[in-house]
Amino acid sequence: EPLSKRQRKKLLKQKQWEEQKDLRRQKRKEKRQKRRLERQSKLDTNNEGNDRKRMRREVVPSTLRLIVDCSFDDLMVLK
């Protein structure tokens, strides 16, 4: 029984996918290793630690003031 055109295309795509499996795996591995090296080099250059933590430690004085108006306490429910 001969294969239909659609079935042949499907088999061809599957075969190509299987043949390129090792290549894709190798590319993923290289990409992961590249990201790992970039992260490591970034950490080495930034000896002070995380930028977010450093920003959090810096306290900046503010001129903002907060006022809470409690004049509506008679309208509030006890709950």
- Residue percentage of the chain with pLDDT more than 70: 84
3-state SS of 14-41? HHHHHHCHHHHHHHHHHHHHHHHHHHHH
Q: According to the model, what pLDDT value does residue 10 have?
A: 96
Q: According to the model, what pLDDT value does residue 55 have?
A: 60
* Stated pTM of the model: 0.45
| 19: helix, strand or coil | helix
On the question of pLDDT at 49 being above 60, the answer is no
CA dist 3 → 13, 18, 60 (Å) = 15, 20, 74
